[in-house]
Amino acid sequence: MSKINQGRLTATTDEGIVVFLIGMRINNFLAFHKWIPVFNAMGKMLPELYKNPQLGFKSYQMWFSRTLILVQYWESAEKLLEYAKATDSEHLPAWKAFNKAARASDAVGIWHETYVVPREGVENMYVNMPTFGFAKVGQLVPAVGKRNSAKDRLGGAQ
């Protein structure tokens, strides 16, 4: 079980962050042979990203049901795009294979959204939570004083 950080905390950063949401949706659960390769491809990318911090990947959270969702944190949009296009990474071959397979079946779908967030646009709150989400990449501090309200945290108070 993860250690619980007791109290009311917020995670701060001196820099902006790129929030990258990516996932897949199982459209035909019985077509295992169509969606398992997509799931396994992500399983290869995450260790690659953690082993190579120079790629700009910071951390992620994942949820799995019919729609798998990963919330990833990157140091910059440039680093994210470089990884997506890198011919020596796990991503590009997986992306090409998915595009080829997607023409033959709609059993699985994939999606992503990218948000470039300036430092002043980062706001979060954690009460009696393990280190989770942005708290994995920011610095956890007590949510008191100028960090007490969402309005103040969004104003970039440090």
Average of pLDDT values for 18-29? 95
- For position 83, which CATH number holds? 3.30.70.100
Q: Say whether both 107 and 132 belong to one domain.
A: no
Q: Is residue 156 scored above 70 in pLDDT?
A: no
In degrees and rounded to multiples of 5, residue 79 shows phi and psi of: -65, -40
Q: Say whether both 113 and 123 belong to one domain.
A: no
Q: Say whether both 75 and 122 belong to one domain.
A: no
Averaged confidence pLDDT in the chain: 92
Q: Say whether both 59 and 70 belong to one domain.
A: yes
Three-state secondary structure readout of 5-64 = EEEEEEEECCCCEEEEEEEEEECCCCCHHHHHHHHHHHHHHHHHHHHCHHHCEEEEEEEC
Q: Say whether both 107 and 126 belong to one domain.
A: no
Average of pLDDT values for 33-46? 87
Domain extent at residue 23: 17-117
Q: Say whether both 90 and 124 belong to one domain.
A: no
- The model's confidence at residue 97, banded by pLDDT at 50, 70 and 90, is confident
